[in-house]
Amino acid sequence: MSMASRIGAYIKLLRPEISDMDIALPASSALLASYLLTKDLPPLFPFILAVVGGYCAITSTYVFNDCCDIDIDKINLPDRPLASGKVTKRQGLGYALLLFVVAAMIAWYLNPESFVVLIIATISLTMYSAVAKRATFLSFIPVGFSYGLVPIGIWLAFDPAGVLRSVPGDDVILPLPAIFFGAMICVTDWGFTLSGVARDVEGDRLRGAPTFPVTFGVPKTSKFVMACWTAGVAFSLAIGYTAHLGPIYFTGA
């Protein structure tokens, strides 16, 4: 394999088709946290670090999940780098670890509280990829929980909770907009995850993964996905209300 093809395979593992979402999530959390705390934009260097750290944290889970799903992806998505053999499982695990280490170093530098949130989210995603997906139809729950922690971890980098990093005069561990932000990402990711899993029914059934669509069927899954996304819209409106944002935000929400 040529160097260009090898690099392309590693880039493909990061899901570049949804990279705008993976960048926008940490960026928006950093912007909102800083605005509510200081009524100003965040400092440029910490902002860049937070976006890079959040992106690495998210994409490390993509790579690790692909490492755990090679047998299923050979049926559902045979063109993926690991399923097609362009990247070995050992190389994939090393790549996931590298991305996690970068995210962990950045999180620790910005705020140890963010580092703790990263560890909790990573453990939850690891349980999903390595165990839960092949054990229960509720496996989507830790996925949404973990992604819901991403904006929380980024938020703490700019507005510490005061648990591991003292904040004089601030007795609020986590403001309501941050909580609603995390809840919004959690429930919308449940819908996002299940809509993707609904595409993978054939391979999941053959490999014995009792996912929600395999257990209850795609039509019922679609209804649940719509309920998740409706709840996500409600939480997004709650963010705007509690953060006292203006009409431009509510138009987009």
CB 110 within 8 A of CB 51: no
According to the model, what pLDDT value does residue 118 have?
A: 98
- Residue that the structure tokens 């928006």 belong to: 28
Give the Å distances, CA to CA, from 2 to 6, 10, 95, 147: 6, 13, 19, 35
Give residue-wise pLDDT tens across range 208-240: 889 999 999 999 999 999 999 999 999 999 999
Q: Which two tokens stand for residue 50?
A: 């937070």
Using DSSP's 3-state secondary structure scheme, residue 79 falls into coil
When mean pLDDT is compared over 14-18, 66-70, 99-103, the highest value belongs to: 99-103
Which DSSP state fits 159? Answer: S
Using DSSP's 3-state secondary structure scheme, residue 217 falls into coil
According to the model, what pLDDT value does residue 168 have?
A: 66
Give residue-wise pLDDT tens across range 167-208: 766 677 899 999 999 999 999 999 999 998 888 888 888 888
Cα–Cα distance, 234 to 52 (Å, whole number)? 29
CA 134 centroid distance within chain:
20
According to the model, what pLDDT value does residue 76 have?
A: 85
Half-sphere exposure of 251 (CA within 13 A, CB side): 3
Give residue-wise pLDDT tens across range 51-67: 999 999 999 999 999 99
How many residues would you count in the chain? 253
Which DSSP state fits 42? Answer: P
* Segment 105-129 mean pLDDT: 96
- Is the pLDDT reported for residue 1 higher than 90? no
CB 27 within 8 A of CB 172: no
Half-sphere exposure of 230 (CA within 13 A, CB side): 6
Give residue-wise pLDDT tens across range 22-39: 999 999 999 999 999 999
Give residue-wise pLDDT tens across range 121-134: 999 999 998 888 88
According to the model, what pLDDT value does residue 253 have?
A: 64
Cα Rg, the chain, nearest whole Å: 19
In 131-200, where does DSSP find H-type helix? 140-158, 176-199
Task: List the Cα angle 24/224/197 in 5-degree steps.
Answer: 65
Percent of the chain with pLDDT over 70: 98
Rounded to 10 degrees, what is the CA torsion of 24, 25, 26, 28? 70
Domain boundaries, the chain: 3-252
CATH architecture under which domain 3-252 falls? Orthogonal Bundle (1.10)
Q: How high is the mean pLDDT of the chain? A: 93
Cα–Cα distance, 107 to 115 (Å, whole number)? 5
According to the model, what pLDDT value does residue 43 have?
A: 96
- Is the pLDDT reported for residue 4 higher than 90? no
